[in-house]
Chains A and B, each alone.
Chain A
């Protein structure tokens, strides 16, 4: 942004007060743009969540407003603005009104230092990742404030759970980030991406076995920080009515809602930056990318698709796993995640002591870790395909729309291949 400001000020030949004024206007414009991008992303994520939930539950999901229901999030937002803004009689009105602003500011201010592309970053701070960890802590204050000010027992339990959970899970998150900082040697988001490369074995997730473990630690801790299932205790629907936002209606509720979804994108984007090489395109060096507009746009698309995969995994987990109990949540954090993060941090330090510089042995470790990761993915996909095959259910969800009846047939349930079929035929023969 500073480069852009210098360019505008120099080309107009401004100085003194007018230059300051242009700078101020530019700051406001960039802030508005970042806020708008954040809002759009989180709005589209609410739609994605409902569509993915629909597919997972063999439903369809919102499809009436716009093509594929793409405008559903705008419609929901417009409706929530029009709803009455209820402040309960016994609530603390000022704190009640202020809490959503803190949550929204805490999440959307973090978008300022997200590297969407090599040049597409509002502010490349030299303490970027530290800034992200710090500014998102405002969410804790906002959530606790909303729970307390509502003067409602469900809200208060939700708010206090959120505070306990977010503060506890800050520790493993920060320790996992520290492992990456140890390797990259910089806190700047662009610096961390520049240290990596486009190919998978150049990413930090496959740097060594410890960073591979650190990614999963980071992901678990970030899920808990974002109050997502299986750690969504602050807004557990079956225990607390709607958690800390029970008493909120209208646009104030929309603030909490959008902040939650912006948080999902935020954690995916941070994971993309720290572990998956950000906007780096395979086979293109950052110097080559800097000079070309096409490569810049490709880099942005690469970053967005990597973080979109992360968002999808978060939503997928939400509609798959049950919720943890509060004591299980705390023991997971303090008994397992924090010691493991320390082990990984120490392991990374020792690794860097042994291989301080890029060397062929270092590359070999990257390659072996990449191979290990690839094998894990292949095993996962084959298991899913195997179970899909033996279940005999086709992935066709539109048979109702075509007017056909359900395809359930007990015989096809065991229509099977390979060893499973042999077992089945043996059983049939025995009868």
Chain B
């Protein structure tokens, strides 16, 4: 916002693109989906609590995918759950973002060698932000959400850049879907 303020001879004024205004609106109203697959969901709940109040930034949880902007992969993803998560992601309305929260959602983490665990959410979803930690503290999750805000700031919304996102396809998961 401060970058848009210009100094003129008779005082300062704000000069910006329409995209800037639209992105300002989008980044300050980033509703996340109330969905967790394992223990990281406890930290996800804590993020909405008093110590790290996500509502300060306009981030509230919605229970339904249709009304949420961000899907937070909170916890270990099994192959059985992956197809459900993909379904939830596809039910979300564009523009939508994905955060991989914690080691399991990033790489499979502690359960990487298991026959049942997907080695990272980016094998079947276009992940925007990876948050390390097992589990990440709520401060880290807030930082991850702020990285999404920074990403939104740079997007040319009027050109609909988000229609170009391609879903990565993991053959093993595609077989299950």
A50 touches B50 (CB 8 A): no
**Interface residue A65 (Cβ < 8 Å from any Cβ of B):** yes
CB under 8 Å from chain B, chain A span 246-278? 246-250, 253
Judged by a CB distance under 8 angstroms, whether A425 is at the interface is: no
Residue B55 at the chain A interface, CB threshold 8 Å = yes
Structural contact, B50 and A58, CB atoms closer than 8 A: yes
Measured between beta carbons, the chain B residues less than 8 angstroms from A237 are: 63
Q: Which of A54, A80, A245 contacts B55 (CB 8 A)?
A: A54
Given the contacts A75-B24, A82-B25, A50 and B60 also touching, CB distance less than 8 Å:
yes
Contact present for A249 and B53 (CB under 8 Å):
no
Is B93 touching A241 in the complex (CB atoms < 8 A)? no
Residues of A within 8 A of B170 (CB): none
Q: Give chain B residues whose Cβ lies under 8 Å from the Cβ of A57.
A: 49-50
In whole angstroms, how far apart are the Cα atoms of A241 and B33 in the complex? 11
Q: Indicate which residue in A60, A76, A79, A246 contacts B56 across the interface (CB closer than 8 Å).
A: A60
Question: How many A-B pairs with Cβ below 8 Å?
Answer: 91
Known: A242-B63, A248-B66. A86 touches B53 (CB 8 A): no
389-410 of chain A: CB within 8 A of chain B: 400
Interface residues on A, range: 35 or more
Q: B140 near A: Cβ within 8 Å?
A: no
Q: Is the CB of A62 within 8 A of B50?
A: no
List chain A residues, Cβ under 8 A from B51.
400
State the interface size on chain B (CB cutoff 8 A). 27
A83 interface residue per 8 A CB criterion: yes
Chain A residues 43 to 70 lying within 8 A of chain B, measured CB to CB, are 50, 53-54, 57-65, 69
Q: What is the CA–CA distance of A57 and B53 in the complex, to the nearest angstrom?
A: 10
Chain B residue with Cβ nearest A79: B29
| CB neighbors of B among A71-107 (8 A) | 72, 74-76, 78-80, 82-86
Complex Cα–Cα for A61 and B55 (A): 5
Flag if B64 contacts A79 (CB, 8 Å).
no
Question: Are the CB atoms of B58 and A249 closer together than 8 Å?
Answer: no
How far is the CB of B139 from the nearest CB of chain A, in Å? 13
Q: Nearest Cβ distance between residue B53 and chain A, in whole angstroms?
A: 4
Min CB gap A372→B, angstroms: 39
> Cβ of B157: which chain A residues have Cβ within 8 Å of it?
82
The distance in angstroms between the C-alpha atoms of A237 and B60, with both chains bound, is: 14
CA distance A15 to B29 in the complex (A): 51
Asked if A247 contacts B53 (CB within 8 A), the reply is no
Residues in B lying within 8 Å of A, measured CB to CB = 21-22, 24-26, 28-29, 49-51, 53, 55-58, 60, 62-64, 66-67, 69, 91, 93-95, 157
- A384, B155: Cα distance in complex, Å: 51
A76 to B58, CA, bound (A): 8
CB <8 Å contact, A242 and B67: yes
A64 contacts which chain B residues (CB < 8 A)?
28, 56-58
Chain B's nearest CB lies how many Å from the CB of A241?
5
What is the predominant secondary structure among interface residues of chain A facing chain B? loop
Establish whether residues A59 and B66, one from each chain, have CB atoms under 8 Å apart when the complex forms: no
Contact check, B67 vs A75: say whether CB atoms are below 8 A apart: no
List of A residues within 8 angstroms of B60 by Cβ: 50
Tell which of B28, B49, B51 has the most Cβ of chain A within 10 Å: B28
Asked if residues A83 and B94 are in contact (CB atoms below 8 Å), the reply is yes
User: Which residues from chain A contact B58 at a C-beta distance below 8 Å?
Assistant: 62, 64-65, 69, 72, 75-76
B93 and A249 form a contact (CB under 8 A): yes
B93 in contact with A86 (CB, 8 Å): yes
Instruction: Select A241's contact among B29, B53, B57, B64, beta carbons within 8 Å.
Output: B64
A253 to B49, CA, bound (A): 25
- Asked if A246 and B66 make an inter-chain contact with CB atoms under 8 angstroms apart, the answer reads yes
Please give, as numbers and ranges, the residues of chain A lying within 8 Å of B95 by CB-CB distance. 82-84
Contact A84/B55 with A76-B29, A246-B66 known, Cβ cut-off 8 Å: no
Closest to A236 in B: B63
Q: Closest chain A residue to B51 by CB distance?
A: A400
A395–chain B nearest beta-carbon distance, Å: 14
**New A-B contacts (9) at CB < 8 Å, excluding given A61-B53, A75-B24:** A62-B57, A72-B58, A75-B25, A79-B25, A79-B69, A82-B25, A84-B93, A85-B93, A242-B63
Chain B residues within an 8 Å CB radius of A54: 53, 55
Do A83 and B93 touch across chains, with their CB atoms under 8 A apart? yes
Q: Is the CB of A253 within 8 A of B55?
A: no
A61 vs B54: C-alpha distance when bound (angstroms): 8
Q: In whole angstroms, what is the CA distance A105 to B142 when docked? A: 39
Given known A-B contacts A57-B50, A84-B93, A248-B67, A63 and B25 have beta carbons under 8 A apart: no
For A252, the closest partner residue in chain B by CB is B66
CB distance A50 to B25 under 8 Å? Answer: no
CA distance A78 to B20 in the complex (A): 13
In the complex, which residues of chain A have a beta carbon less than 8 angstroms from the beta carbon of B24?
75
Residue A65 contacts which of B28, B93, B94 (CB distance < 8 angstroms)? B28
Report whether A247 and B66 are in contact in the complex, using a CB–CB cutoff of 8 Å: yes
- B47 CB, nearest partner CB in chain A, Å: 11
